[in-house]
Chains A and B, each alone.
Chain A
Amino acid sequence: GAVVSQHPSRVICKSGTSVKIECRSLDFQATTMFWYRQFPKQSLMLMATSNEGSKATYEQGVEKDKFLINHASLTLSTLTVTSAHPEDSSFYICSAGGLAGGYNEQFFGPGTRLTVL
């Protein structure tokens, strides 16, 4: 149980285009999902918290107009990188909040490798 999928796993796009990444909780409902970014040899950086039916909460320094997050259902959150540039190339990972043994836990998706040319 507690499986989270991401699609696509890899994407290459041209500078200036937009890219949408999907995050799905496959066997549980997630009211809260999280989006992280990770650059090579660096730790996870939380970008935003996505709450079903409401606006996402962005971390300081993350441009909400550039990284659009939509949590339209209890099993799906999407991250759209708008007008992507080479500096947006990174590993994007989502996670979904759920309960395990009565405690709050995050279940991670496999990640999406974005390369902007």
Chain B
Amino acid sequence: QKEVEQNSGPLSVPEGAIASLNCTYSDRGSQSFFWYRQYSGKSPELIMSIYSNGDKEDGRFTAQLNKASQYVSLLIRDSQPSDSATYLCAVNPGDDYKLSFGAGTTVTVRA
């Protein structure tokens, strides 16, 4: 079983719609959870971090964490063509800086 699994893509949504990305992780002791956005040919860019159960909102992005279900999600509201990218879920399973990454979900927002 992979440490971090993301819903398989690609995900295509119309402009203005909500894009929903899901991620599950295997290490129950994980403390920190991250969503990165990666444009083609570019380095990952952190868009959300979440550490406690519940929702965290930042602009059009909302991250949701449920440690009991070992589940973290990302919602992108009012999706824009500029949101078209690959989104990587990352989990810090321990007390060092190492991250476990999911394979990524590619999102395409149709104008």
Contact = CB atoms under 8 A, between A and B. Distances in A.
Given A32-B96, A43-B88, A103 B49 contact: yes
Interface residues of A, number: 22
A105 B51 contact: no
Interface size bucket, B side? 20 to 34
Given A97-B97, A100-B49, A103-B32, A108 B44 contact: yes
Q: Do most interface residues of chain B lie in helix, strand or loop, or is the interface mixed? A: loop
Contacts of B43: 93, 108-111
Interface stretch (B12-20, B60-68, B99-107): B99-107
Contact of B101 (A44, A110, A111): A44
Between A44, A97, A98, A100, the greatest number of chain B beta carbons within 10 A of the residue's beta carbon is seen for A44
A104 interface: yes
Interface of B: 31-32, 34, 36, 41-46, 49, 51, 88, 90, 92, 95-99, 101-104
Interface string A79-117: 000000000000101000110110111111111010000
Between A43, A101, A113, the greatest number of chain B beta carbons within 10 A of the residue's beta carbon is seen for A43
A110 B42 contact: yes
A98 B99 CA distance: 12
Contact of A105 (B44, B97, B102, B104): B97
B30 to A, nearest CB: 11
Interface of A: 32, 34, 43-44, 46, 49, 91, 93, 97-98, 100-101, 103-111, 113
A85 to B, nearest CB: 22
